[in-house]
Amino acid sequence: MTDTWDEEFSPSAGALNTLRWAYGMGATTLGEAYDMLEQLELSNDVPEVLGHDDTVENVREELDFGLETVGPDAPLTSLL
């Protein structure tokens, strides 16, 4: 049986890198990772995490969809 997120919420490479970054910073759920986007935006990590092809705003929109789809309590370990 596949996870609902796999069928409905398939994060892009930039979003996955952001989720990995948030996990490394201590986030354990999608909601916590979303809450850390502002911290990422203010940090010097944006180019390292997102590269040159993605933006925090694009990732925010994608994670908004994820929050609606799988909910804020979805464990990051199941999304990574």
18-59 tens-digit pLDDT: 999 999 999 999 999 999 999 999 988 899 999 888 899 999
- Structure tokens given for 45: 């990590």
Is 60 within the bounds of a domain? yes
Is 73 within the bounds of a domain? yes
* Angle formed at CA 76 by CA 53 and CA 40, multiple of 5 degrees: 45
40, 41, 29: which is closest to 77 by C-alpha?
A: 29
Is 34 within the bounds of a domain? yes
Is 16 within the bounds of a domain? yes
58-80 tens-digit pLDDT: 999 999 999 999 999 999 999 98
Name the pTM for this structure: 0.88
Give the residue numbers spanning the domain of 55: 11-79
pLDDT band at 1 (very low <50, low <70, confident <90, very high): very low
Q: With contact defined as beta carbons under 8 Å apart, do 11 and 79 qualify?
A: yes
- Structure tokens given for 31: 């909601």
Count of domains for the chain? 1
